[in-house]
Amino acid sequence: MTAPPPPLDTLDLALIQALQFDGRAPFSRIGAVLGVSDQTVARRYRRLRSTAGLRVVGAIDESRLGLTTWILRLGCTPDAAEQLAAALARRPDTAYIDLVAGGTEVMCAMRPRSRRDRDELLLGKLRRTPRVVSVAAHCLLHLFYGGALARLDKIHALTAEQQAALRPAPVEAGSRPVTLDPDDEALMALLRRDGRTPLGELRLATGQSESAVRRRLERLRSSGVLYFEAQHDHASLGQGIGAMLWLTVAPSALADVGEALASHWEVRFAAATTGPANLVASVGCADTGAFYRYLSQTVGALPGVRTVETALTLRTVKQLTYEPAR
């Protein structure tokens, strides 16, 4: 029997949150803020990679590109779920693919780069896929928590002064969508695999000079297109089970309920969406008992919530848009 990973201490939590604020911060800078040596930070980072699944990945804020995110709920026969999830994971425009309890549903976030790509998948490929029995597509209308906002983590392991020292420069305001050129896309492909890839390796892989790579990174980050996420095993933070909530909320209460969910420790993502349920949330709890208490005592107490559908996550097949493990 495999031994459980060692519990995370206060320095582990502080390091994870520091990487949420700035995933590319040098270990020397993180160490100075946390009051430890850069060697200690590097050693902890390596250990957390193996024991807590810690990794930093670069991500694109699709809204800054003028694009829309969809959540797909795909019903299929029990023998097709894993194969369908693996096929979707190979697509560069999918993220957060989960196998849902019961083994007959795949849940997937889709970020198509064009209307043609969207229609080809939703109206063509999926409906012609053998053993897919239902396709429900929900367009995200407003994000309450998740994506780039996840760097404002709920671990509370850093003081306000430490957060200020690590917080990246504010994103430039602007309503015009940003356009990525092929060199931007090549750089993003590398950062999706490892957000801490050194500048020298980025230079060699892209064929650009180190100064050109640095300028691109700064431009992508300041425009808000590129952000970094510190991913980790949720069980290591006391969230042993995950679930999706589909809430039907009175329209007049939608904003209040969404903002309330965003403040909950259990909530990893929350957004207003189209469809029979008008608010969707991804949550994590320690166990089924904690999940029950969260539903009955916290969510159930929110004014305006009419119905809640729950779907437990069996396994996450893909996060964000990095290549899944073969």
Contact 63, 142 (CB under 8 A): no
The answer to whether 63-143 and 240-314 have equal CATH topology is yes
Looking at residue 128, what is its pLDDT?
83
Looking at residue 156, what is its pLDDT?
87
Helices (H), 22-156: 27-34, 38-51, 81-89, 115-119, 126-128
Judged by DSSP in three states, 226 sits in strand
Side chain identity, residue 84: L
* Rounded CA separation 215/140 (Å): 32
Contact 95, 109 (CB under 8 A): yes
Q: Which fold has domain 240-314?
A: Alpha-Beta Plaits (3.30.70)
Contact 230, 53 (CB under 8 A): no
Q: Report pTM.
A: 0.84
CATH 3.40.50.1860 fits 63-143, yes or no: no
* Rounded CA separation 159/21 (Å): 13
List the chain pLDDT tens, one digit each, 326 residues. 445 556 789 999 999 999 988 999 999 999 999 999 999 999 999 999 998 889 999 988 888 888 889 999 999 988 889 889 998 888 878 888 999 977 789 999 988 877 888 888 777 788 788 888 898 999 999 999 988 777 667 888 999 999 999 988 777 766 577 888 999 989 998 998 899 999 999 999 889 999 999 999 999 998 888 999 888 887 777 778 899 999 999 999 999 999 999 999 999 999 999 999 999 999 999 999 999 999 999 999 999 999 999 999 988 888 764 333 33
* CA-wise closest residue to 64 among 174, 150, 143: 174
Looking at residue 63, what is its pLDDT?
82
Domain ranges of the chain: 10-57+154-231, 63-143, 240-314
